[in-house]
Structure 1
Amino acid sequence: MLAKLNTSFTRITDHPDFGKLLLRLTFGILILFHGVAKMENGVGWVVKMLEGHGLPGFIAYGAYIGEVVAPLLIILGIFTRPAAAVISFNLIVAVLLVVGGKFFTLTEVGAWGLESEALYFFGGLVIMLLGSGRYSVVSNPALR
């Protein structure tokens, strides 16, 4: 009985391309909020942080690629896999520069200190592995 119920449920909910679209939209929009904040407030604080670590400040402008350009590409379903890789790389840099000290911490509610960052990092990896699916603004699969 349970197997039959599961088969029926699976038949009703088996829409992998829609699932990929929903994942892309959710992920892309949430990352884009970070990019909009950078566009409104600039990346001066990131420049100072990078220079404090002995790195060139111009690297901070890569945040616009990782938090504006890449999310827009993911939302549209264009160059989805490379865009998702860029976002995951961006998250590694952000963790190392900003919140790396939280690696071995828990919050008051028992969550990992880097839970949000991990969710974005692995979400980017998942999108990179899955690709855009059928729903994209371009019909050419080579551009998805």
Structure 2
Amino acid sequence: MWAQYARARPEAVALSPEYSVERFGDSEGLADELLELVLIGRKRATAGLVAEFLAEGDDVPRIGSHWIACDGRGVPRVIIRSVELRLSAFDDVDAQFAFDEGEDDRSLESWRRNHRRYWERVTSALGTTWSETDEIVLQRFSVVWPPEFADPVRP
């Protein structure tokens, strides 16, 4: 998948040749559910704790970076490219970002409820405790490959 994308979009790869391979969420079911939202064009943002990136030995994404998003079984489905990043605290996430994440009813209230549960679960698995003051990476992205799922390229 990466080789096909690199041949089709060499300029994007030249600007950011590194990529990660990962899935959304912390379970097969959640990964499939969130990936489906990406595939239908509803989800164009995601949020992750800085502590998660560090615990997994991953770098925090940067604008232009790529990741191959896999389904719950680890099968690569699309290549995503970061187009906007910012650090935030839980209470500073706004309604527009919650909407762009595309989950549940897209409201800020459901975003807070669901992410609170998710991060409590994830940090517990890491042997730590989640706090609303923990730094969150808010990432907006575009789908760049394969062509049938790719967002329109902006000039």
> TM-score, normalised on structure 1?
0.31
- Greater helix fraction, Structure 1 or Structure 2: 1
Q: Which has the larger radius of gyration?
A: 1
